[in-house]
Structure 1
Amino acid sequence: MCEEIKATVQKHTQSLRHSKEELNRLNQAIQRLTVEVDGAKSQEEGASGSAKGKLAWLEAALQRAKQDMVRQLREYQELMIVKLGLDFEIATYRKLLEGEESRLGLGFGTGSVTLGSAPTCGPGSAAGAAPPPPPPPPPPAAGSLETSAPGGGCALCGSPGCVGAFSCTGPRGC
Structure 2
Amino acid sequence: MCEEIKATVQKHTQSLRHSKEELNRLNQAIQRLTVEVDGAKSQEEGASGSAKGKLAWLEAALQRAKQDMVRQLREYQELMIVKLGLDFEIATYRKLLEGEESRLGLGFGTGSVTALRSALGSAPTCGPGSAAGAAPPPPPPPPPPAAGSLETSAPGGGCALCGSPGCVGAFSCTGPRGC
Question: Root-mean-square deviation (CA), in Å?
Answer: 41.5
SS at match of 1:113: helix
Structure 1 gaps, min length 5 = none
8 Å Cα contact 2:98/2:109 also seen in 1: yes
Give distance in 1, aligned partners of 2:175 and 2:13: 145
User: In structure 2, do the counterparts of structure 1 residues 109 and 18 end up closer, same or farther at CA, with 3 Å as the change threshold?
Assistant: closer
- How far has the Cα of 1:103 moved from its partner? 1.0
SS at match of 1:45: coil
8 Å Cα contact 1:116/1:167 also seen in 2: no
8 Å Cα contact 1:147/1:164 also seen in 2: yes
| Overall identity of the aligned pairs, in % | 100
Query: 1:70 — aligned with what?
Result: 70
User: In structure 2, do the counterparts of structure 1 residues 27 and 56 end up closer, same or farther at CA, with 3 Å as the change threshold?
Assistant: closer
Decide which moves more: 89-98 or 29-38. Answer: 29-38
Decide which moves more: 84-93 or 26-35. Answer: 26-35
- How far has the Cα of 1:107 moved from its partner? 3.6
8 Å Cα contact 2:110/2:138 also seen in 1: no
8 Å Cα contact 1:137/1:163 also seen in 2: no
Structure 2 gaps, min length 5 = 115-119
- How far has the Cα of 1:90 moved from its partner? 0.8
Decide which moves more: 20-29 or 73-82. Answer: 20-29
Q: TM-score, normalised on structure 2?
A: 0.36
Q: TM-score, normalised on structure 1?
A: 0.37
- How far has the Cα of 1:4 moved from its partner? 123
User: In structure 2, do the counterparts of structure 1 residues 134 and 60 end up closer, same or farther at CA, with 3 Å as the change threshold?
Assistant: closer
User: How many residue pairs align between the two structures?
Assistant: 174
- Give deviations 1:30-59, integer Å, cap 9, x for gaps: 999999999999999994211111111011
Query: 1:88 — aligned with what?
Result: 88
Greater relative contact order, per chain length (Cα 8 Å cut-off, separation 6+): 2
Decide which moves more: 17-26 or 155-164. Answer: 17-26
- Give deviations 1:76-107, integer Å, cap 9, x for gaps: 10011111111111111110000001112224
Give distance in 2, aligned partners of 1:118 and 1:6: 14
